[in-house]
Amino acid sequence: MATGFIDELTSPTVKYLRERWWNEAFTEFLTETLRPRAGNRILDVGCGEGIAEVQLGRLHVSQMRLVGVDLMIERVIVARHETAAHNQRGLFACSDACHLPFRDGIFDSTFCVAVLQHISDVEMAIRDFARVTRVGGRVVAVEPDNSARYSYSSTPAGRRAFEMSTPFFSALAAARGEAMEAAIGPKLPTLFAACGIEPLEVRLFPVSQTQLGAPPDEVWRRRHDVVEQVIDQAPNDDVRNLGREYLTALDAYAAEARKAGSSFVEIQHTMLFATVGQKTE
Ligand SMILES: C[S@@+](CC[C@H](N)C(=O)[O-])C[C@H]1O[C@@H](n2cnc3c(N)ncnc32)[C@H](O)[C@@H]1O
């Protein structure tokens, strides 16, 4: 069970896309929609550890320049290292998606994957995507609807843990002043239109994970450790207390799952909404 993929029990967002998500179909979709041509400049906002640069770099489009920016310097360093390790080129910089350090119309296309879900002023970011993209260029944003995730557990403690995860992570976000838009994915076409980007297409990518039979101990250890770490960093006692109750529920879930053995079932499912647009003005 790859709980680093989607796991509502450890994160309120689709956090770890990495290789599991960047499969051939998705790379093909991005290539089709970004339409990389020789000499093009393409911007990846919130590039993370550079997986898009490695995948798109494999196309070997001559003189195409891929530029990745991310808010976290550690990610930028890994992205640089990863592209170099794959013998590919990419330019990377540390930057906020809402204040891109580029002049108007410099990019032929701009895209982001699972980034706007972390930003409080999404419209500001999309306006900046439009600003740095040339007229007629593509803007592509791929984001989930974190308010519409599906989960199922065959054990009562599992259902209780899933029920408790949303209020816990919501209380944490509220206490930290991180009021993100959970249902960002389906709202992108409207936001694009408001920012001078004509919406051309919305493509849905389902992301699912099923577990039959009790997961190994390392899965439970990871879930426990992630939540414990979040509790340690909780901004106030209310969140900490909620967290402790949640952790108790998670541990009870682990015990029930072990007992259920081969009859255990857990299913998680979510959807990514890929919106393709064209800069019009
Ligand atoms: C879920 S990861 C996705 C990474 C990458 N796009 C991928 O598909 O593998 C989200 C990334 O967005 C970055 N991020 C969050 N807020 C940002 C902001 N305001 N400006 C730029 N990057 C941001 C995070 O640092 C993180 O690397």
Q: If pLDDT is split at 50, 70 and 90, which confidence band does 181 have?
A: confident
Question: How far is C-alpha 136 from the chain's CA centre?
Answer: 27
Closest-CA residue to 64 (of 94, 44, 78): 44
User: What's the whole-number mean pLDDT along residues 27-38?
Assistant: 88
pLDDT confidence tier of residue 2, bands split at 50, 70 and 90: very low
**pLDDT value for 168:** 93
Give the three-class secondary structure for 169.
helix
> What pLDDT sits at residue 15?
67
Ligand 1 close to Cβ of residue 48 (< 6 A): yes
Between residues 41 and 21, which one has the greater pLDDT?
41
Q: Does domain 18-146+179-208+271-279 have CATH number 3.40.47.10?
A: no
Nearest to 191 by CA among 141, 236, 155: 141
Q: Is 36 in the pocket of ligand 1 (CB under 6 A)?
A: no
pLDDT of residue 74: 95
Nearest atom of ligand 1 to the alpha carbon of 22 = 8
Tell me which H or E stretch contains 83: helix 73-85
User: Does the pLDDT at position 19 exceed 60?
Assistant: no
Confidence of residue 21 (pLDDT cuts 50, 70, 90): low
Q: Are residues 22 and 7 in contact, defined by beta-carbon separation less than 8 angstroms?
A: no
Give the tokens for residue 20. Answer: 């599991």
pLDDT confidence of 26, banded at 50, 70, 90? confident
CA of 116 to the centre of ligand 1 (A): 8
**What is the DSSP-derived secondary structure letter of residue 3?**
T
> Is any atom of ligand 1 closer than 6 Å to the C-beta of 17?
yes
Q: What is residue 146's predicted lDDT score, i.e. its pLDDT? A: 84
Confidence of residue 197 (pLDDT cuts 50, 70, 90): very high
Characterize the bridge pairing of strands 41-45 and 107-113: parallel
Neighbours of 227 (CB within 10 A): 24
Give the per-residue pLDDT at 129.
98
Is the pLDDT score of 128 beyond 50?
Answer: yes
Distance 214 CA to ligand 1 centre (A): 32
Q: How confident is the model at residue 1 (pLDDT cuts 50, 70, 90)?
A: very low
Closest listed residue to residue 185, CA positions, set 100, 115, 125, 129: 115
Reported as type and span, the H/E element at residue 125 is helix 122-132
pLDDT band at residue 77 under the 50/70/90 scheme: very high
Output the CA 87–ligand 1 centroid distance in Å.
23
Nearest to 67 by CA among 57, 31, 116: 57
Q: What would the mean pLDDT of 264-274 be, rounded to a whole number?
A: 93
| Cβ of 118 less than 6 Å from ligand 1 | yes
Q: Which residue has the higher pLDDT, 208 or 195?
A: 195
Ranges of each domain in the chain? 18-146+179-208+271-279, 150-176+210-266
- Mean pLDDT over residues 247-271, rounded? 95
Split at pLDDT 50, 70, 90, the class of 18 is low
Supply the residue whose CA is at minimum distance from atom 4 of ligand 1: 48
Q: Is 96 in the pocket of ligand 1 (CB under 6 A)?
A: yes
Q: Is the shortest distance between the CB of 251 and ligand 1 below 6 Å?
A: no
Q: Whose CA is nearest to atom 8 of ligand 1?
A: 113
Q: How many CB atoms lie within 10 A of CB 86?
A: 15
Section 81-106 average pLDDT: 94
What residues pair up with 64 in beta bridges, in sequence order? Answer: none
Q: What is the pLDDT of residue 196?
A: 96
